[in-house]
Amino acid sequence: MNKLVVFSDLHGDIDMLRMIIARAEKEKADSILCAGDLGIHHSTIIAHMIRTSAIPFSIVRGNCDSPWAFIDVQMPVPPIHLMLDFHSRKILLTHGDRIFSWYDSPAKLTENDIFIYGHSHVVMLEHSEHSPWILNPGSASRPRDQHEPSFAVITEKEMSIREIVSGRIIPGYSKGLLH
């Protein structure tokens, strides 16, 4: 994997999911990560879009994602967290309602690793000494800050948070990743 597209808190917004998939295709992403609150119970169209996407999805369950909703559309029930390997880093993907911070991580994370969460609907991209990178891509449908609906892009060398509709990087939310 060389490029990841990350979003959270879609809450069933089909149009935004369509745009996220289009952005991921334009970015030539290898995978799309959803940090919960997909809102699959709103429409079987969402399940169809995920199943037919040329880019594979990895999804964790959010507080608004009922396991039954996934069963109803014949999709596997997502876990509460996923651990992924990405180049020389570990990525912990969770929604943020049960694993509140990287301190609560079920795996040890180093300052080279990335902790991704959603739930707050507020963008965040920060790094400090002795902690992993912290990424919240904001909300794909209902932001609770001054930003437009957003998603993140991660490569081996950088992370950025971008507006879904325009694709523009949100000022102050693009960082180079050092090893």
Residue type present at position 164: I
Per-residue pLDDT of the chain (179 residues; tens, 9 = 90+): 799 999 999 999 999 999 999 999 999 999 999 999 999 987 899 999 999 999 999 999 999 999 999 999 999 999 999 999 999 999 999 999 999 898 888 889 999 999 999 999 999 999 988 999 999 999 999 999 999 999 999 999 999 999 999 999 999 999 998 65
The stretches of the chain forming alpha helices (DSSP H) are: 14-27, 44-52, 67-72
With residue 175 as reference, give the H or E element that holds it.
strand 169-176
Fold of the domain spanning 3-176? Purple Acid Phosphatase; chain A, domain 2 (3.60.21)
